[in-house]
Amino acid sequence: MFNRRDAPVAGVDTSLKRELGLFELTATGVGVILGAGIYVIIGKAAGLAGSAIWIPFLLGALAASLTGLSYAELSSMFPKSAASFEFTRRAFGLRVAFVVGWLMLLSHIISSAAVALGFGGYLSSFIGFPIVPMAVGLIVVSSFVLIMGIKQTVWIGVLFTAFEIGGLLLVIFVSTRFIGTVSYLEMPEGIFGLFKATTLLFFAYLGFEQVANLGEEVRNAKKTVPMAILLAIGITSAFYIAISVASVSALDWRELSQSDAPLADVVQAATGAKTSFVIGIIALFATANTVLFLLLTSTRTMYGMSNSNTLPKLLAIVHPRRKTPWVATLVAAVVASSFALLGDIAVVAQLSNFAVLVAFVMVNASLIWLRRTKPEIERGFRAPLNVGNLPITAVLGIGFSLSMLANVAIAALLVGLVVAAAGILLPLVLPDFGKDPEDVGGTKVGIAAEATTGPAKYDA
């Protein structure tokens, strides 16, 4: 009944089901990246960049692509769950990787609670129920969907993403007749304002890295995952740039920058009709979609780290029929619900920016190191722009991520450092930490396994 090979818990099958293709994976990436942030953040960015707001969106896309290319190449080498953890593990060993995985895991779980509270706020404005119970309810329902199966989860996400895209297409469509009526190079704060807006809008592209976490549930993962990452960045970039041009065409950037619901005001300016209700409904789908995918990423991170014996082995147990990591899903739901019950976790939620930027630095560094130490490992995709075997995109990705870390809010930095310190100390109290067949001495992987088993081990 069970496949015992590589099972962290004796007699229990821990393999996931490969059900996803390029469309589902790309749609997942688009849904994760779009989220609900664009409905708010575009107004703040317009105050910095003026009607030239499309330039920071373009620069943000290029900055995201630098690290996206590293994720694409590494996922073509190691299509595994807990991607950031796995890539760092292959380059720098378990202890360094654990800190990265630990940061990402907690940030995703806490972020899911924060976004769930946002969902509760939107829903409360419609039906008047208390915010916290509705947030917890969303987490519970999302967890049930996750346990039902990866294909069901992704297709629900695809449906919600369609509503998000529909809202953006509505904004673009009603603003079409105004395009060309303003100067798209008006910059109230000059080049400095463009760079500040780019720093802000870069976070609108976060989410592409979550696609790599589904590597063990994708058909032909070595080619499909890299392509999905790059397609997701490309598609969302096109939407963001189109939305920015449409918005400042229909509504003066000064008014846009003062709005609490900028896209709703754009539609009202273009049509004369109040559309806050419609935008609010779309925001409900966007926030629910974000919570679903954040919990999905959290469970796959727990699953992958458990399979490497850096978290308790029980977290890698999968449902015998659904092939989903149900124990990890329940744990993620309980922890996320606990944070949601606090009601106000704005400061803690800022951990996400710190964690993602640290992960980006380490993933780019992992690509550089593995290019140097293990150039013979089969790659289904190779990042362009190389000097010899040095990926220039990864070097630039490290530089940009470090510059972004320098601009992280002090509160986020302090929370991140505390969580990172916990990640350094936690392995000391985990009795089975590092007891993995591929782990050399319990602290460093060193990729010894490839030398004997060959790259076919990672084939999907």
- 96 closest CA partner among 267, 262, 281, 310: 310
pLDDT at 447: 37
pLDDT (tens digit, 9 = 90+) per residue, 305-326? 999 889 998 999 999 999 999 9
pLDDT at 367: 98
pLDDT over 80 at 6, yes or no: no
User: If residue 222 lies in a helix (H) or strand (E), which one and from where to where?
Assistant: helix 221-250
Q: How far lies 86's CA from each of 89, 192, 255, 302, in Å? A: 5, 37, 46, 12
DSSP letter at 391? E
**According to DSSP H, which parts of 93-148 are helical?**
94-127, 131-148
The answer for residues whose C-beta is within 8 angstroms of residue 91's C-beta and 6 or more apart is 365, 366, 369, 370, 373
Query: In the predicted model, what is the mean pLDDT of residues 31-46?
Result: 88
Strands 386-387 and 390-391: antiparallel
Please state, as a whole number, how many other Cβ atoms lie within 10 Å of the Cβ of residue 343: 12
The rounded distance, in Å, linking the Cα atoms of 22 and 223 is: 9
DSSP letter at 9? S
396: Cα separation from own chain's centroid: 20
pLDDT at 117: 93
Concatenated DSSP letters for 12-73?
Answer: ---PPP--B-HHHHHHHHHHHHHTTTHHHHHHHHHHHHGGGTHHHHHHHHHHHHHHHHHHHH
36 in Cβ contact with 171 (< 8 Å): no
User: What's the mean pLDDT when you consider all of the chain?
Assistant: 89
CATH label, 23-449, candidates 3.50.50.60, 1.20.1440.230, 2.60.40.420, 1.20.1740.10: 1.20.1740.10
pLDDT at 89: 96
The answer for residues whose C-beta is within 8 angstroms of residue 116's C-beta and 6 or more apart is 135, 136, 138, 139, 287, 291, 336, 340
pLDDT over 80 at 10, yes or no: no
> Is 384 exposed, middle or buried, given 0-12, 13-18 or 19+ CB atoms closer than 10 A?
exposed
pLDDT at 9: 54
Q: Which amino acid is at 409?
A: A
Query: In the predicted model, what is the mean pLDDT of residues 200-210?
Result: 92
| Residue 12 confidence class, pLDDT cut points 50, 70, 90 | low
| Residue 4 confidence class, pLDDT cut points 50, 70, 90 | very low
What sign for the dihedral angle of Cα 24, 27, 32, 33? positive
pLDDT at 273: 84
4 in Cβ contact with 10 (< 8 Å): yes
pLDDT at 416: 93
The rounded distance, in Å, linking the Cα atoms of 356 and 153 is: 24
Residue for token pair 């450092």: 417
pLDDT (tens digit, 9 = 90+) per residue, 152-194? 999 999 999 999 999 999 999 999 999 999 999 999 999 999 9
pLDDT at 110: 94
Query: In the predicted model, what is the mean pLDDT of residues 417-434?
Result: 86
Concatenated DSSP letters for 354-390?
Answer: HHHHHHHHHHHHHHHHHHHH-TTS--S---S-EETTE
pLDDT (tens digit, 9 = 90+) per residue, 213-265? 999 999 999 999 999 999 999 999 999 999 999 999 999 999 999 988 899 89
